Amino acid sequence: MRTPIVQDYEIVPPAMSALEQAVWNRAELQSQRYEFLATASELDDSDLNFRPEISGNAQLGASDGSDSSANAVGILSVNYSQLLNDYGRGDIQKEQAWLELEAQQTAYALAADQIFADVARAMIQNQAAGQKIAIIDRQLGQFREREAQIQQAAAVGVLTNVDLLDIRNSENQIKVTRSLAVAEQAQSRVVLDRVLQTAAAQTAASRGVGAITQTRLDRLPQWRRVRAELLVDQSDATVNNILSSLRPRLSLQSQVSVPFDPDEDSELFVGVRWDFTLYDGGRAAQRAQSQRIRSQSLAQEVEVFDQLVTEGRASLGATLQGIRLQRAALRDQITIRAEGITQLEQLLSVGRADVSTLAQEILAQATTELSLVDLTAQSKLNIVSYAQTVGGTCEIFKACENLHLQWRVVPDASL
């Protein structure tokens, strides 16, 4: 996908990894870059008000003469004007343009962050589904190795119909879980194939998700807070712009009027014009006060955001700690059950254990291992959710630096 160009401006493409390149190529980010460039081009337009303006008009008509006859008349006028002093209006407008550019930058970063979050969730779900399928296939393989023994035990009456039904129900539940895992894997693959169209990009995404628990949460870029602060700054700038409408304007004015009738004289006017407002009925002050109240409301939202982040960070820490304890307990349970299965197999070989108990333990082991996979995936998804809350999912993939857009003037190809 080509680098967007708006008039004489273009984005400077950064050096990117395969994953960053895949995200860069997304159509929604292409649109955001166009918006950014359009805003950047307006920065150079902020001084246009001081450039001279030349306009003109021609008038044709008829007038009654003293002898009651109609005479054709016409006049050509050329006007020249140039702003000399706007008493700071232009600076305020330029400040607003810079704030809008920062807003476009933030919008771009948040749009990219959404893509990173979608990729992270899809990759976590894809990996978890793959692990579940592998676990189930392994345990079902061990179960099938005992299939003949189960059938023989049922045939001689060692296993009752109830025992056999319980075994089949457990087996079917595991198979249903496998079918769901296959569906989850296919759904996540749709997202990954749509966004990450190269093997290198998918490998990078897998590596980032694999190390997600090592992400420094205190280093996440808080793009959502940046956006909240920008809304406050933009509101304050709007207050200044409203009040600046009361400031005077000083400009140079010149006009040349040339009649079509050669017998009439031309007129030339050169002077200065000073526009000012003596009283606007308090409208500007009222609008400014309303905007100040909005600024206070927006500033309060920043404080609320900070509080939510603090609480979310604490809640995430507690949740992750709880998951770590549960995972440790499950790992111990898996180890103990694996030892029990080994002992049952030894006892079964000498006729001191029944195949029903062994089959149930094998299927129960699969269920326990699946629970461990779910907890591991959930801890990763919780980190992604928190990162997206603050607007810093890019840190999971170490891809935050390239979200800062830079632009340049397009070189003239004819030179």
Quick one: pLDDT at residue 65? 57
Residue at 413 is within a domain: no
233 Cβ contact partners less than 8 Å away, ≥ 6 residues apart: 99
Q: What is the mean pLDDT of residues 368-383?
A: 96
Residue at 241 is within a domain: yes
Q: Diameter of the chain by CA atoms?
A: 140
CATH code: domain of residue 87: 1.20.1600.10
Tokens matching residue 142? 């061990």
Q: How many domains does the chain have?
A: 1
Quick one: pLDDT at residue 218? 85
Nearest to 381 by CA among 118, 62, 133: 118
Q: Which domain holds residue 338?
A: 51-401
pLDDT digits (tens, 9 = 90+) for 253-264: 998 888 887 778
Q: What is the mean pLDDT of residues 353-360?
A: 74
Residue at 149 is within a domain: yes
Quick one: pLDDT at residue 415? 40
> Which range has highest mean pLDDT (39-53, 100-114, 350-364)?
100-114
Query: How confident is residue 162, by pLDDT bands cut at 50, 70 and 90?
Result: low
pTM, two decimals, is 0.82
How many other C-beta atoms can be found within 10 angstroms of the C-beta atom of residue 1? 11
Q: What is the DSSP string of 147-209?
A: HHHHHHHHHTTSS-HHHHHHHHHHHHHHHHHHHHHHHHHHHHHHHHHHH--SHHHHHHHHHHH
Average pLDDT, the chain: 86
Residue at 298 is within a domain: yes
Q: How far apart are CA 32 and CA 121, in angstroms?
A: 23
Amino acid at 192: L
Residue at 311 is within a domain: yes
Residue written as token pair 């040339």? 258
Residue at 25 is within a domain: no
Residue at 1 is within a domain: no
Nearest to 108 by CA among 223, 228, 192: 223
Q: How far apart are CA 415 and CA 412, in angstroms?
A: 6
Q: What is the mean pLDDT of residues 362-368?
A: 88
Residue at 39 is within a domain: no
Q: How far apart are CA 151 and CA 38, in angstroms?
A: 74
